[in-house]
């Protein structure tokens, strides 16, 4: 019986194709928006469980004394710690391009972030070169940078032009790592007269701990250590730290979340309208089916099966089309251009499963009212109506 | 065509007393038009015997289609009883009436009402979807029905590939595929040219004579009515 219903899709091929296309567009949009959400929160989702972040208790943008790094290392349970300072420079040749550039202590940094991989010779070169920097493979590819190149960044926080040498290019073994960042020596910034305002200050500290299950206790222990100082700290797991950063843009993410659901609502209305038109046009035919013995539930099955077939077919095609569109075109573009926000822009398989299930469910929801109407048709009245 | 034992399970195929397959007594049908009651049939009595081929004629609004709908179990009388094959059809609840129709009544409409996306064979198979039959059995029965109406060679054609007369023959095959005892035809030649109409009427005669099907036909067409063994004239809801 459902076979007959599905065959009905051939009755008005143009309308069916347009409805399937509408469902496809809705599904592609849904998958794209959900991928934006998952990519944006990837830093939190894929954060290392054995890392704790420490920042100024008042705000992210306020600095702490450099000596805090060593004091954090001394806290029981902390294996290693590294500081980081936001530099905020721009490449004058690519003024419009944003990428993170951060001053770090190279050895400590690579010890804490062991998912950042730098070839051994380039690593050694970086350690020895005071104005050396390592850059992610994505930004290196984008700007055509290679080891040995001289790169100038113009400071937006620290004045003037700063000359660097590319010591190495890093890759990442973890999805949360931004492959478009620029890391250079803390001392290069700290020893420069232009860095006087943050001399011996650090932006934040990231620690590696020995037991991920104790991250809350270790965070408390770190903060307790500085409780009586002029500058207190706020420590939390890397995941919580990333989430708190995401919290600053939570309103935007919420809007994206809502819009992705609104898209599905629009899809339901489109499918519902198509199905309702079909039911109206076939009133007489449904009357004939009822006359020859089909029950109201059979008519409901006809209508529902047709709607689910359209939605599911559109859902499958939309999902198939989403992969090349979202991953190969949009994803590649975003990773290369705004990797700081979208370090890993890939479709989560769960998003596809959700899209397919929702497409089928929406088919049922959209057809519920028309199916009910069809099942309630009066046989004699239906037979009187033509067209 | 042999009796369809499988469809008997879907509905009641009771026998009839005194050879009457249709027995209408004091049947009245009233419709509400706004607040006004409209009497379409008034205390109508009618008996039709098994194996009959009878026509109902009358002007528009005389109540002939309403009477056909009541006999076929599509509607219920306001008062009075209609027994068809020994069953008080009007007393059956909706679901039971649908099953009864599937087992006992074959419908032929003025507009052939084929499903355009199904082939002739699949259209004829439609009523058998309600019976517990395998796909093979359904196809065999539908093929036999199409053979009876002379369209076996066209069974893979879609309705759009058939003429009006051929479509109506497919509709007749659909009406007889469940081997019903009673065939009701509402203006079966109304949309056809004279030649095609004659073919359809000959086919109905053959079903009546060779297969002993009882046929009740509503028609405006005197030529069509001539083929029936008996003609009932209705006017203003009463038999003349």
Q: Does A15 touch chain B (CB under 8 A)?
A: no
Q: Does B8 touch chain A (CB under 8 A)?
A: no
Q: Does A289 touch chain B (CB under 8 A)?
A: yes
Average pLDDT, chain B: 87
Phi, psi dihedrals of residue A300, rounded to the nearest 5° = -60, -40
Nearest alpha carbon to residue B104 among B155, B66, B45, B50? B50
Cα–Cα distance for residue pair A90/A348, rounded to 1 Å? 32
As a residue count, chain A comes to 387
Q: Quick one: pLDDT at residue B216?
A: 94
Give the CATH number, domain containing residue B191.
Answer: 3.40.50.300
Chain B residues in contact with A386 (beta carbon < 8 A)? 111
Q: Does B98 touch chain A (CB under 8 A)?
A: yes
Chain B interface, best mutation among A281, A291, A386, by max B CB count within 10 A: A291
Q: Give the C-alpha distances (Å, rounded to integers) separating A77 from A72, A283, A291.
A: 10, 74, 79
* Mean pLDDT on A123-135: 96
Instruction: Tell whether the model's pLDDT for residue A328 goes beyond 50.
Output: yes
Chain A interface, best mutation among B32, B98, B104, by max A CB count within 10 A: B98
Cα–Cα distance for residue pair B69/A379, rounded to 1 Å? 10
3-state secondary structure of A63: coil
CB B30 within 8 A of CB B10: no
* Mean pLDDT on B226-232: 91
Chain B residues in contact with A288 (beta carbon < 8 A)? 107, 109, 113
Cα–Cα distance for residue pair A62/B103, rounded to 1 Å? 85
Q: Does A4 touch chain B (CB under 8 A)?
A: yes
Per residue, the 3-state secondary structure of A94-148, as one string, reads HCCCCCCEEEECHHHHHHHCCCEECCHHHHHHHHHCCCEEEEEHHHHHHHCCCCC
Chain A residues in contact with B99 (beta carbon < 8 A)? 293
Chain B residues in contact with A10 (beta carbon < 8 A)? 117
- Asked if the structure places residue B175 within a domain, the reply is yes
- Asked if the structure places residue B82 within a domain, the reply is no
Chain A residues in contact with B103 (beta carbon < 8 A)? 293
Nearest alpha carbon to residue A178 among A111, A258, A232, A113? A113
Phi, psi dihedrals of residue A196, rounded to the nearest 5° = -60, -35
Q: Which of A108-112, B49-53, B182-186, B234-238 has the lowest mean pLDDT?
A: B234-238
Q: Give the C-alpha distances (Å, rounded to integers) separating A62 from A59, A197, A220, B157, B210.
A: 6, 12, 20, 80, 101
Query: Please, is A178 exposed, middle or buried when counting C-beta atoms within 10 Å of its C-beta (0-12, 13-18, 19+)?
Result: buried
CA-derived radius of gyration, chain A: 29
Chain B residues in contact with A380 (beta carbon < 8 A)? 69, 74-75
Confidence tier at A242 by pLDDT (50, 70, 90): confident
Å from B5 to nearest chain A CA? Answer: 16
Strand (E) or helix (H) holding A354: helix A349-375
B8: Cβ contacts below 8 Å, ≥ 6 apart = B103
CB A288 within 8 A of CB B113: yes
State the ipTM, two decimals.
0.85
Confidence tier at A339 by pLDDT (50, 70, 90): low
Q: Quick one: pLDDT at residue A381?
A: 84
Cα–Cα distance for residue pair B113/B123, rounded to 1 Å? 10
Cα–Cα distance for residue pair A225/A269, rounded to 1 Å? 59
- Asked if the structure places residue B24 within a domain, the reply is no
Q: Which of A138-142, A150-154, B1-5 has the lowest mean pLDDT?
A: B1-5
Q: Does B129 touch chain A (CB under 8 A)?
A: yes
Cα–Cα distance for residue pair A274/A215, rounded to 1 Å? 55
Phi, psi dihedrals of residue A235, rounded to the nearest 5° = -115, 150
- Asked if the structure places residue B180 within a domain, the reply is yes
Tell how strand A51-56 and strand A233-237 pair up: antiparallel
Nearest alpha carbon to residue A153 among A214, A107, A204, A92? A92
- Asked if the structure places residue B23 within a domain, the reply is no
Q: What is the pTM of this model?
A: 0.69
Which of B103, B113, B129 is the closest to A284 by Cβ? B113
Å from B50 to nearest chain A CA? Answer: 21
Chain A interface, best mutation among B101, B124, B178, by max A CB count within 10 A: B101
Nearest alpha carbon to residue A103 among A207, A239, A199, A242? A199
Q: Which two tokens stand for residue A291?
A: 């006359």
List the alpha helices (DSSP H) in A191-331. 215-225, 238-247, 250-281, 283-291, 296-322
Contact B127 A7 (CB under 8 A): no
* Mean pLDDT on A163-169: 96
Instruction: Tell whether the model's pLDDT for residue A1 goes beyond 80.
Output: no
Chain A residues in contact with B127 (beta carbon < 8 A)? 292-293
Domain count, chain B: 1
Q: Does A288 touch chain B (CB under 8 A)?
A: yes
- Asked if the structure places residue B203 within a domain, the reply is yes
Instruction: Tell whether the model's pLDDT for residue A119 goes beyond 50.
Output: yes
Average pLDDT, chain A: 88
Residues 207-236 of chain B with CB under 8 A from chain A are: none
Q: Does A297 touch chain B (CB under 8 A)?
A: no
> What is the extent of the structural domain holding B190?
5-15+51-64+97-234
The label of the residue with tokens 């009586």 reads: A228
Contact B103 A288 (CB under 8 A): no
Nearest alpha carbon to residue B127 among B98, B168, B88? B98
Q: Quick one: pLDDT at residue A251?
A: 79
Q: Does B91 touch chain A (CB under 8 A)?
A: no
Instruction: Tell whether the model's pLDDT for residue A385 goes beyond 70.
Output: no
Q: Quick one: pLDDT at residue A46?
A: 65
Phi, psi dihedrals of residue B106, rounded to the nearest 5° = -110, 130
Cα–Cα distance for residue pair A79/B182, rounded to 1 Å? 92
Contact A10 B117 (CB under 8 A): yes
The nearest alpha carbon in chain A to B109 belongs to: A288
As a residue count, chain B comes to 240
Contact A383 B102 (CB under 8 A): no
CB A133 within 8 A of CB A166: yes
* Mean pLDDT on B80-106: 91
Cα–Cα distance for residue pair A52/A78, rounded to 1 Å? 9
Question: Strand order in B238-239's β-sheet?
Answer: B105-108, B182-186, B214-218, B53-57, B230-235, B238-239
Tell how strand B79-84 and strand B20-33 pair up: antiparallel
Instruction: Tell whether the model's pLDDT for residue B129 goes beyond 50.
Output: yes
Q: Does A269 touch chain B (CB under 8 A)?
A: no
For A269-278, how does the pLDDT look when each residue is reduced to its tens digit (9 = 90+)? 988 898 898 8
3-state secondary structure of A92: helix
Phi, psi dihedrals of residue B180, rounded to the nearest 5° = -75, 160
Query: Please, is A144 exposed, middle or buried when counting C-beta atoms within 10 Å of its C-beta (0-12, 13-18, 19+)?
Result: exposed
Better pLDDT: A298 or A4: A298
Instruction: Tell whether the model's pLDDT for residue B2 goes beyond 60.
Output: no
Cα–Cα distance for residue pair B44/B26, rounded to 1 Å? 5
For B29-80, how does the pLDDT look when each residue is reduced to its tens digit (9 = 90+)? 998 888 888 888 988 999 999 999 999 999 888 888 899 999 999 999 999 9
The nearest alpha carbon in chain A to B127 belongs to: A292
Which of B101, B111, B118 is the closest to A293 by Cβ? B101
Instruction: Tell whether the model's pLDDT for residue A230 goes beyond 50.
Output: yes
Which of A291, A295, A386 is the closest to B111 by Cβ? A386
Å from A12 to nearest chain B CA? Answer: 10
């Amino acid at each position: 019986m459902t076979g007959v219903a599905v065959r009905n899709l051939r009755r008005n091929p143009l309308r069916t194709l347009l409805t399937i296309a509408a469902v496809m567009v809705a599904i592609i949009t849904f998958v794209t928006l959900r991928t934006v959400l998952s990519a944006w929160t990837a830093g939190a989702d894929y954060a290392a469980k054995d890392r704790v972040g420490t920042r100024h208790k008042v705000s992210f943008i306020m600095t702490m004394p450099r000596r805090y790094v060593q004091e954090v290392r001394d806290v029981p349970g902390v294996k290693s710690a590294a500081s980081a300072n936001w530099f905020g420079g721009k490449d004058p040749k690519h003024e419009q391009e944003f990428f993170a550039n951060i001053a770090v202590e190279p050895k400590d940094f690579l010890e804490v972030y062991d998912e950042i991989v730098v070839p051994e010779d380039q690593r050694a070169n970086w350690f020895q070169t005071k104005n050396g920097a390592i850059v992610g493979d994505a930004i290196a590819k984008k700007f055509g940078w290679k080891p040995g190149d001289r790169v100038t960044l113009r400071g937006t926080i620290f004045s003037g032009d700063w000359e660097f040498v590319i010591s190495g290019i890093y890759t990442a073994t973890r999805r949360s790592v931004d492959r478009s960042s620029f890391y250079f020596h803390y001392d290069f910034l700290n020893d420069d007269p232009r860095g006087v305002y943050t001399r011996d200050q650090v932006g934040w500290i990231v620690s590696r701990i020995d037991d991920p299950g104790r991250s809350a206790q270790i965070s408390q222990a770190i903060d307790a250590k500085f409780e009586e100082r002029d500058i207190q700290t706020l420590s939390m797991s890397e995941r919580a730290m990333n989430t708190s950063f995401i919290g600053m843009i939570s309103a935007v993410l919420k809007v994206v979340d809502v819009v992705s659901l609104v898209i599905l609502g629009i899809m339901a209305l489109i499918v519902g309208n198509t199905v309702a038109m079909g039911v109206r046009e076939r009133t007489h035919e449904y009357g004939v089916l009822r006359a020859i013995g089909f029950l109201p539930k059979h008519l409901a099955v006809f209508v529902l099966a047709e709607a689910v077939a359209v939605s599911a077919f559109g859902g499958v095609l939309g999902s198939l089309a989403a992969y090349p569109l979202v991953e190969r075109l949009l994803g590649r573009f975003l990773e290369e251009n705004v990797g700081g926000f979208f370090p890993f822009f890939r479709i989560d398989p769960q998003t596809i499963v959700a899209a397919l299930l929702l497409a089928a469910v929406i088919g049922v929801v959209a057809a519920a009212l028309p199916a009910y109407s069809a099942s309630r048709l009066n046989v004699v009245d239906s037979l009187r109506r033509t067209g | 065509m042999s009796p369809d034992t499988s469809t008997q399970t879907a509905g009641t195929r009771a026998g009839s007393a005194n050879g009457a397959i249709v027995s209408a007594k004091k049947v009245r049908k009233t419709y509400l038009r706004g607040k006004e009651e409209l009497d379409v049939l008034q205390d109508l009595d009618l008996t039709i015997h098994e194996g009959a081929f009878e026509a109902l004629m009358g002007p528009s609004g005389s109540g002939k289609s309403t009477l056909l709908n009541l006999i076929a179990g599509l509607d219920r009388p306001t008062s009075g009883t209609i027994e068809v094959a020994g069953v008080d059809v009007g007393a059956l609840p909706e679901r039971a009436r649908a099953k009864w129709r599937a087992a006992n009544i074959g419908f032929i409409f003025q507009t052939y009402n084929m499903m355009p996306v199904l082939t002739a064979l699949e259209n004829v198979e439609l009523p058998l979807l309600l019976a517990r039959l395998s796909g093979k059995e359904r196809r065999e029965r539908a093929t036999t029905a199409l053979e009876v109406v002379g369209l076996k060679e066209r069974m893979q054609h879609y309705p759009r590939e058939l003429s009006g007369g051929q479509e109506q023959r497919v509709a007749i095959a659909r009406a007889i595929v469940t081997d019903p005892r009673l065939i009701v035809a509402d203006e079966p030649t109304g949309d056809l040219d004279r030649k095609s109409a004659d073919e359809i009427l000959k086919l109905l005669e053959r079903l009546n004579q060779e297969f002993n099907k009882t046929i009740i036909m509503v028609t405006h067409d005197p030529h069509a009515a001539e083929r029936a063994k008996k003609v009932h004239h209705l006017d203003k809801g009463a038999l003349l």
